Amino acid sequence: MRILVDASLLIYLNARMPDDEARRVEDFWLNLLRDHVLYTNIIVLDETIYVSKKKYGIGYGETIEFLDRAVLPHVDILSLGIEEYLEARKIMARYGLKPSDALHVATMIRHGLQAIASEDGDFDKAYVKRIWLE
């Protein structure tokens, strides 16, 4: 399956958590890497860097190193342009999603992605297939 990786997953992979929780997140990530083709966009990377610092106190440099080492070699970064913006406008109006979430859904539509790996239940409002930890 072609899956968009959302910031929530990357943030949890980057953050320090109890061993059992970290293991569940890492297993989910490894299953995604093994069984699917993964994509993301620059907004997800921005959110990962910002939230990792704001919520978990992880420095920008440390998160950038994590992204460069553990994410970018395995996940294709999809561009955002006017087409995604125009689609996101419709999605925001129809489903009431935040602008960044609407851009993620627009990215999925434009590139034919089948699901999003995200903890964020707001995507359910847009009838997007969302996968998360079991």
* 8-17: average pLDDT: 96
- The answer to whether the predicted template modeling score (pTM) of the entire model surpasses 0.75 is yes
* Residues 104/75, Cβ–Cβ less than 8 Å: no
Average pLDDT, the chain: 96
Q: Calculate what percentage of the chain has a pLDDT beyond 70.
A: 100
**Tell me: the pLDDT tens digits for 48-83?**
999 999 999 999 999 999 999 999 999 999 999 999
Per-residue model confidence (pLDDT) at position 80: 96
pLDDT for 134 equals: 74
So what's the pLDDT on residue 90?
97
Which residues are within 8 A (CB) of 104 and not within 5 positions of it... i.e. 6 or more apart? 4, 6, 41, 43, 44, 116, 123
The Cα–Cα gap between 119 and 130 comes to 8
In this structure, the dihedral spanned by the alpha carbons of residues 70, 20, 134 and 14, taken in order and rounded to 10 degrees, is -30
Query: What confidence tens digit (pLDDT) does each residue in 81-108 have?
Result: 999 999 999 999 999 999 999 999 999 9
Rounded percentage of the chain residues whose pLDDT exceeds 90: 99
CATH tag, 2-79+112-131: 3.40.50.1010
* Mean pLDDT, rounded, for 97-124: 97
Question: Average of pLDDT values for 101-122?
Answer: 97
**Residue spans per domain, the chain:** 2-79+112-131
